[in-house]
Chains A and B, each alone.
Chain A
Amino acid sequence: MMFHSVCFAASLPVKPSSYTGFIPDEGSFANRVLIYNFAVHDSGTVTEYDNSTGKNYWTDAGSSAATGCYRGLSRSDGCTDYYFFFPTVTSQVYNFVMTVPGGGCSVYLVNKNGVIIKDLTDNILDVELGDYHTYGVSFYAANNWYGVCFAVSHSSSTAPFYGEFMEGYYKSSYFDSIIDNLPYMPGFYDGTGTAVRYMGYDVANVTIPSMGLGYAVFPTFVGDLGGSGATFTFKFHNPSVSVKSDKLYTLNYSSILDSLIISIDGNDYVHALDSGYSASEATHNFDLSFTPTSTSLADLNFTLKISLKHSGFVLEFVSSSSTDIGVTPTPGGDDDSGSSGGNYSSALSNISSQLDDLLSGMGTNTTTIVNNITNATTTITNTITNTVTQMTTNITNALSDVKQGISDTIDSAKESINTTLNGVKDDINGKLDQVQNSVNDAVEKQTNSLLDGLKNFFIPSDDFFKSYFDDLSDFFADRFGFLSLPFELVGRVVDVFSDASSADFVVTLPALTIMGESIWSDQSFNLTDLIESDFGFLIVASHTVTNIILLFWFINLCTDKWNEVMNL
């Protein structure tokens, strides 16, 4: 029986942007169905169906966990519908949480060069089975396709995934272990007509005459395997089959980005086997190591093209920065009784178990470390926040004090300056007033002196006439004797009337002398003083009345005189 090898590699990215599955096929045989074993943890299952022999290798779920693959109906034309789904994650009801609109799943058929030749997205079926949602794709095998690529992305709204993977699903250690188990390849080979299963990928000799080689995909990520600079190694070891030394092992990259596969071939990763290897060697391992030179290939997949004439080796993928990932045997089906497959199955089971324990411990430790880091970060954050707050408060208070001190100093200086300036201003004003007064006095004095000089030059002084006439009066009185009496009387009469306002009413009682004896001396009584002191109001009233009478009399006099002059 001729049976073609089938292998599948899947990539479950950490980011919920996509996951891919790749089913390589040489495509040279029509009646063949590729059944995908979605390597989801402990549900490793390989199902195959050989239409030419009618032998069904369908194994269904090979483990106790939820089946990762479901085989559908076999069609008369040799095609078989198949479905795949994820098991439910512990503590999660569904693997998928279809709550976020915009998510999508796309399925493409690709050729060996990674070129999409058919879009199967519209063929995706969504079947809800209890706690599961299964997503199946039905397609025909053909000569011109080489595999199927599953890509889940949230860029498509047409796919049945109406949401993204639940975030918790990806963060669970359970799922992480799935990722870590992905690098190796489930595969099988039937070089002798007997179903023999090996883990890894065996592109067997003549069974692919047209291609002469096969390839497998190692879906993993540089970041997951140690990041940039890590060394990755493909290990081929098969104790039962020697490796030809004259064959060339070529390692190529291929990257699936946005559902497009990019193959990168390079001589750097071409290694010729040592000629010392011989078929007689009981065991022989050879490694292909490489170090990615670019970190841009975040979604790096490794495609290994091997042109071997021998089969039956196990392929491992090892990162220098991580633990050597063991090989987990694919659960065997009806024909899982190969000559060497059993040994490897046992070994791989042990390795897988150890790996699970290790990952579980790592998960616990990781959780503890993360919690510690979180607590430490919180403490540091709080401390820094409190310190910054305290520093801010202190700085604010200090600035306020400094500001107040500066303000007080400025006010004090301002007041002092104002006081000084006011003093200087007052002094200046005083000096200016003194100068001005001095100037005014000098000018006034000189002016008065000048005016007095001019006046005295033309006009006699005020006392001149009085002294002048007094002198003349005395001269005439002295020279003319009693002849000057009339003039004197006139002057005295004038004086009497001019001094009338200050004249007092004085009653004089003459002295009485009899026989030369003075009986009493003369006595004067100033009645004006007496009346003004005791009856001043009567004088005021009398003056008011008499003034009015005199005024009317004068008016009457003016009227009569007017009439007289005008002859009225």
Chain B
Amino acid sequence: MILESVFNLFSSAVKLIFGWIDIPDLPASVDSVIDSLFEYVSSGIGFLAIFLDMDFVLLLLPFVLVVSNFEKVYKLTMYVLRKIPFLGID
């Protein structure tokens, strides 16, 4: 209840701040093209799912990302840990 109140307060503040803005939507034809594009993308992934086990791919994907960007992840992690005083990491 407390968090909900905080978030709702934040949401109310955002709506109050940006409530006066009224920018027009994207044209419908463009939306149609974008929808078609995503349908093709989804269909293509479905084609790949015939040959690949997408569950296994999605399971493996975060590990691949972490391993591939190990240096960045390591630095980010150490940066966060250094911010914790009682750990004493310099």
Contact = CB atoms under 8 A, between A and B. Distances in A.
A56 interface: no
Given A458-B2, A458-B3, A479 B50 contact: no
Which residue, B34, B49, B56, B57, has most C-beta atoms of chain A within 10 A? B49
- Say whether chain B's binding surface is mostly helix, strand, loop, or mixed: helix
A456 B1 contact: yes
Contacts of A425: none
B3 A460 contact: yes
B38 A492 contact: yes
A431 interface: no
A546 B52 contact: yes
Nearest to A506: B43
A472 B55 contact: no
A483 B42 CA distance: 24
B85 interface: no
Given A458-B3, A468-B7, A496-B41, A505 B26 contact: no
- Residues of A contacting B: mostly: helix
B40 to A, nearest CB: 9
A460 B6 CA distance: 10
A497 B52 CA distance: 13
A471 B42 contact: no
A561 B67 contact: yes
Contacts of B39: 506, 508
Contacts of B1: 456-458, 460
A496 B45 contact: yes
Interface string A497-520: 111110111111000000000000
Interface in B52-74: 52-58, 60, 63-64, 67-68, 70-71
A479 B26 contact: no
Contact of B18 (A479, A506, A531, A542): A479
21 contacts: A458-B3, A459-B3, A460-B3, A460-B4, A468-B8, A480-B18, A482-B26, A492-B38, A500-B45, A500-B58, A503-B43, A506-B42, A508-B43, A527-B47, A531-B50, A543-B52, A547-B56, A554-B63, A554-B67, A557-B64, A558-B67
Interface of A: 456-461, 464, 468, 471-472, 475-477, 479-483, 485, 489, 492, 496-501, 503-508, 527-528, 531, 539, 542-543, 546-547, 550-551, 554, 557-558, 561, 565
